[in-house]
Structure formats: C-alpha cells, structure tokens
Amino acid sequence: MAPHKLCMIPGPIEFHEDVLAAMSTPATSHVDPNFVPIFGESIEMVRKVVLSEKAQPFIVSGSCTLGWDMMVNLLEQGDEVLALNTGYFVYGAKITTLRADVGSRPSNDALKQALSEKKYKMVTVTHVDTSTGVLSDIKAIAQTVKSVSPETLVIVDGVCSVGSEEIRFDEWQLDIVISGSQKGLGVPPGLSVVVASPQAIEVYKSRTTPIISYYSNWNKWLPIMEAYESRKPAYFATPAVQLIYALHASLKAITSQPMEVRFEKHREVSSKFRQTIRDLGLKTVAQCEECSANGMTAVWLPEGIEIPQLVPALAAKGVQIAGGILNGLAGKYFRIGHMGISVTEPERHHIDKVVETLTDSLKELGYKA
C-alpha cells in the first residue's frame, strides 16, 4: 500500500490491501457473468452481517445519506415520524423529536410516553452518533416500540455501526438499517447499503400514493436486487462495479468468522481504548460505558489545547484523527475511529500508533495528565 497517514477517523477507515486491489479491477461490464455472482453474493453477505435470514438488502451507488432518501418509499403525506435524535426528513412527514443531553440518550420512559400519545409510522434512531460516539440501545428501543405499537417501523441509522456494533436485525425486530461502505464495512465511500425487513417491504408495497422520487425508488431497485441475488443481470442504473468488487472482498473477510467474534473484538479494543483515555486524564463525550460506541470514541480536549494544534500534531506523526462536529462544541473535542482491520488485525498496530502519537502530541502541547 502507498505510504499515507493512518486514517483513524470515524470513517473512511483503513482499507485492507485486498479491498484496495479489488477497487482497481479492470473494466468489467455490469452484466458480465463474472460480475453477476459478485453482486449477488454481496447482497447475501450484507444480510449475514446484520444477522438476518429474510431482510432485503439494497446496495446502490451513493453515499450513506442516500439511505435516508430511500425512506421516501415508506412515507406518505402526513405520516408521523418520531425521531430519537435528529430528523432528516422532507417528503411531507411530520417529525416529532425526542432529544437528550450531549453524551447521553433519550430514556425508555420518554419513548414509551411519546408512543402512547400518537400513532407513529416510524421511529428513527441513530445507532452510533458519529458526532459524539454515543451508542443507542437499539435492542431495547425496538422492543419498546414493537410492544407498544407493533405496526410502527424501527428505522436505524447504522452508518457508523454496521460491521462494528452488534446488530441482530431479525431477533431485535428492526425494520430498516441504513449504512454505507466506508465505515465498519471497510470499503471506500460510494455505496449506500440499506437493509429492509419484510414488514418494511410490506409497508412499501401497500402504500396508496406514488413514490415521489426517481433515484431512490424501490420500484426501480427491488427488481435489480432480486435479479442479481438470483444470479441474473438486470438494469436500472449501472452499478459501481469496482466498489462492489471491493465490498465483496471486504464482506468475504468479515463473514469468514462468526459476527459475534467481530462484535466482541470491537468491544474489547474500544473498552481498552477508553481506559487509555481515562489513564491520560481525559474524558469521553459518551457519559457511560454502555452508551459508548465500540467503533469510535469522542474525547473532550484538555484545557488549553485546541483542535488546530492537536490534529496537525498527530498528522505530522502520520495519524489522521478528526475534530468535533457538534454545533457549538466542535472545537471542544476530537474523534478517533477504531473499526475494521485496525481492530481485527492488531498486528497492524494501528491502535497502538494512535495511542502513542496522541500521548506524545499531548505532551508536546504542554499537557500534563
């Protein structure tokens, strides 16, 4: 691999050599008999990553954000949406937002209360908030939603969690998980990856008003996914052949061992990383262990050290970390990603290098633990 700064931000993450090699697959037709099974198997492996037997994956050229656009397939004018974090929607839906303090998450009681007041078409929740590293308990949330209002769909923003956090799509009764290629799935950015439950597909199929989107329209994409999964080519738009070869390479590695091993490895490394942060006398933005993400950590800056000092100090030592992105607090904390091969292949010493360069940089900037 070409020499480069270690990319230890909460995505894009470091890519395996095999994944990068797949990115430069020579020109291949999107209906080539060699490519068709690559796409088909990728669809199947996405299902495995979220531990589902029956969910429908969609793999479409676009960024993670496109996944939110696809929710247009489930929404009709006037539908009520309960957003446990930030709501993204247009498309005529009415949004109610349940907020929590920075670093914590809305309580289960607040959720129950909200659900009892109105009939919601969907509840949206961000599994890992990339801006703070807070992990939601999507299992408990889905349980609450489905016990109070079984028809309500549970929509999970899994952008920063698929591939790094435990997700049991079927068992937890999730309806949608939205993600993309460049985080826990370990593939360069450019693919939107969305997984839909049979219940969500049913809601989409039984809608009575037309879907007001062209590119995000499942009427276009569902037949394509079904075709490739049954190893037939089909055409709506040219798939990102090289990115799908890369996704295939990464998913093959990811699914070569039980997902539980991968979840556990991310838990172990992140827990150790948070301990290191505490040992340095620093505080994470997430306020408790169980609400801390396992694929990334946001850390408050110590007094007197600023982002424009710390980030370049690490960059000069060959490690890229990220600043904060929370409105009004962006300059107060930094973020580090620990996902994928940086975690599953400790022999690469990515995390060691982050800890070492962070420690040295803080010291250089005059910080005393």
Annotated binding site: 335
CB of 221 to a second copy, least distance (A): 11
Q: What type of residue sits at position 225? A: M
Concatenated DSSP letters of 41-93? HHHHHHHHHTT-SS-EEEEEES-HHHHHHGGGGT--TT-EEEESS-----TT-
Of 12 and 163, the one with the shorter C-beta distance to a second copy is 12
Of 247 and 285, the one with the shorter C-beta distance to a second copy is 247
Of 66 and 296, the one with the shorter C-beta distance to a second copy is 66
**Residues in contact with a second copy by the rule CB under 8 A:** 1-2, 4-5, 7, 9, 11-15, 20-21, 23-30, 32, 61-66, 68-69, 72, 88-92, 180, 182, 188-192, 210-217, 235-243, 320, 322, 325
Of 52 and 85, the one with the shorter C-beta distance to a second copy is 85
Give whole-number Cα distances, 40 to 67, 225, 245, 252, in Å: 20, 8, 11, 13
Of 133 and 180, the one with the shorter C-beta distance to a second copy is 180
> What DSSP designation does 202 have?
H
Of 32 and 260, the one with the shorter C-beta distance to a second copy is 32
Q: Within 10 Å of residue 48's Cβ, how many Cβ atoms?
A: 15
| 124-127-132-134 Cα dihedral, nearest 10 degrees | 120
Tokens of 6: 């270690």
CB of 121 to a second copy, least distance (A): 17
Q: Binding site for substrate: which residues?
A: 335
CB of 239 to a second copy, least distance (A): 7
Terminal CA-to-CA distance of the chain, rounded, Å? 36
Q: Within 10 Å of residue 355's Cβ, how many Cβ atoms?
A: 19
CB of 146 to a second copy, least distance (A): 27
Cα–Cα distance measured from residue 155 to residue 287, given in angstroms and rounded to the nearest whole number: 24
Cβ(265)–Cβ(303) under 8 Å?
no
CB of 342 to a second copy, least distance (A): 10
Cβ(85)–Cβ(70) under 8 Å?
no
Picking from 184, 191, 181, 157, the residue whose alpha carbon sits closest to that of residue 60 is 191
Contacts of residue 15, Cβ cutoff 8 Å, sequence gap at least 6: 186, 187, 188, 246, 250, 340, 341
Of 5 and 119, the one with the shorter C-beta distance to a second copy is 5
> How many CA atoms within 13 Å lie on the side-chain side of 274?
23
CB of 350 to a second copy, least distance (A): 11
